[in-house]
Structure formats: structure tokens, C-alpha cells
Amino acid sequence: MSITQSIVDAVCERAAGRPVRTVSVRVGMLTAVVPDSMRFCFDLTTAGTVAEGAALEIEQPPGTAHCMACSEDFTLADLVLLCPCGSADVRITSGQELQIISMRVG
């Protein structure tokens, strides 16, 4: 809830009174944020603000990682850090994003 509240606060601040039509956010697959509950919270927290009724677009980059042992890049379905080669020495390269990309006003 407070994640969504931070988004709405930032958006309303930048909108400077203009009505907000669309908000685009990037929520990586490896974050603890669930898009459905974010939508639900978004509708609740925008009520009565300039962003009331705005559409929320959620882009979800997949989880990817780079293996230090075999140098392969691979997809991570969850946070279990294990390369197909068997090594656990991996570095997450995407999927942990939590950003506001843009918004459309007016």
C-alpha cells in the first residue's frame, strides 16, 4: 500500500494541479510487489486527487541473471539463485526494478 501511495504522491506533485490520465510504472518480476494489489491500491489512493480515474500501466521486466561460473545469462522465475549449470554464484541483472516511468496529464 505505501509503495502505491509513494507513486501517487510523486505523480500528483509533478502534475501540479493538472488532471492525470495515465501513469506508467515498471515493476520487475523479482520484486515483492503484486500488480493486482497495486492496481487495487492505486484506485483507492488516487480517489479525491488529480489522478482520480487515471489508468495504471504496469510493465513487468522478467527476472534475469548472469552466472559468474559459466558466464551465461539466464531467466530467473523466482529469487532462487541457481544457474542451470548448478552454480549459485549468480548476479541478478533485471527484475528488481520499481520505477515510475512516465505519466500523461491534461
Partner 1 sequence: MCGTCGCSGGSEGGGGTRIAVPHTHPHGGETITLEQRVLAKNEDLAAGNRAWLAEQGIVAVNLMSSPGAGKTTLLERTIRDFVGHRPVSVIEGDQETTLDADRIKRAGSTVVQVNTGAGCHLDAEMMRDALTTLTPPAGSLVLVENVGNLVCPALFDLGERSRVVIISVTEGTDKPLKYPYMFAAADLVIVNKIDLLPYVDFDVARCEEYARSVNPGLTVLALSATTGEGMRSWYDWVAERY
The residues binding partner 1 (CB under 8 A) are 1-3, 6-7, 10-11, 14, 21-22, 25, 31-33, 55, 57, 78-82, 88-89, 98-106
79 binds, among partner 1, Zn ion, none (CB under 5 to 8 A by kind): partner 1
Dihedral over alpha carbons 28, 30, 36, 39 (to 10 degrees): -40
| Size (the chain), residues | 106
Contact residue for Zn ion among 8, 27, 67, 103 (CB under 5 A): 67
Q: Whole-number minimum distance, CB 73 to partner 1, in Å?
A: 18
Sequence-distant (6+) residues with CB within 8 A of 81 are: 65, 88, 90, 92
User: Which of the 8 DSSP states describes residue 19?
Assistant: P
Q: Which residues bind Zn ion (CB under 5 A)?
A: 67, 69-70, 83, 85, 87
